[in-house]
Amino acid sequence: MTASAEVSMIHPLGPNTVEDWLAAEQPDDGSRLELIWGYLHMTPPPGGPHQFVTFRLAVVLNEALRVAARSDLTVLPGVGVRISTPFRTGVIPDISVVTGGFEHTSFSPENVVLAVEIWSPGNTREERDTKIAAFASARVPYLWIVELPVGRPVKFEGYTLGESGYRQEVYAADGETVKAPSPVPVLVDTAQLR
């Protein structure tokens, strides 16, 4: 399965730049302000299940980096990534694994080696597709998607960047453990995400 990285050029760019996004005041309530094709988008604060999964995956990733002695990589939840200045896009992945230090307020896509997105029922299909395409166009090597459907098992998908977009390497449903694509060996137990 390949997620396309093509950005539709028929979509008009909005008036806001990456610099505007970086200068904008972030909401006090935990909502996230992202920039998609020049338009500012506000998403509500992540709920308890979303934050639980974010925490669990950040701990798993941090431990995997420690075991692999990769002190050059850092796990950061909820930081801004300046995807593209020409396409006026800046997003806030739920988790990023970055290289080159963590003393920044936002990160260049060249410094992001893994992005993790946790989809809740409120995330639209368009939002999902746009963010996946943005990560691919920015050449982020690894992408994890976790879906939290209400009343159904957690779904985990792990992708590796190929020539024409992301290629799905693993899929797991509730209760399965998989070796996730990552800059270091890491096992994800989906039973631990609920």
Domains of the chain, by residue range, sit at 2-193
* Domain boundaries 2-193, corresponding CATH code: 3.90.1570.10
pLDDT at 186: 97
Residue 146 predicted with pLDDT over 70? yes
pLDDT at 6: 43
Q: Are 179 and 187 in contact (CB under 8 A)?
A: yes
Position 117 confidence tier, pLDDT thresholds 50, 70, 90: very high
DSSP string computed for 15-80:
S--HHHHHHSPPPTTS-EEEEETTEEEEEPPP-HHHHHHHHHHHHHHHHHHHHTT-TTEEEEES-E
For residue 23, the Cα-to-chain-centroid distance in whole angstroms is 21
Give the separation between CA 20 and CA 89, rounded to whole angstroms.
11
Give the separation between CA 37 and CA 176, rounded to whole angstroms.
37
Most confident of 30-34, 40-44, 124-128, 161-165: 161-165
Give the separation between CA 14 and CA 35, rounded to whole angstroms.
9
Rounded to the nearest integer, the mean pLDDT of the chain is 88
Give the separation between CA 166 and CA 127, rounded to whole angstroms.
17
Position 1 confidence tier, pLDDT thresholds 50, 70, 90: very low
Q: Is 118 exposed, middle or buried (0-12, 13-18, 19+ CB in 10 A)?
A: buried
In the DSSP assignment, the letter for residue 109 is: G
Q: Are 181 and 170 in contact (CB under 8 A)?
A: yes
User: Hey, is 2 helix, strand or coil?
Assistant: strand
Position 8 confidence tier, pLDDT thresholds 50, 70, 90: very low
Q: Kindly report, residue by residue over 163-185, the tens digit of the pLDDT.
A: 989 999 999 987 899 999 999 99
Position 2 confidence tier, pLDDT thresholds 50, 70, 90: very low
Report in angstroms the alpha-carbon separations of 55 from 12, 95, 101: 36, 9, 21
Instruction: Enumerate long-range contacts of 38-42, CB under 8 Å, 24 or more apart.
Output: 38/13, 38/14, 38/88, 38/89, 39/14, 40/14, 40/16, 41/127
Give bridge partners of residue 90 from the DSSP assignment.
35
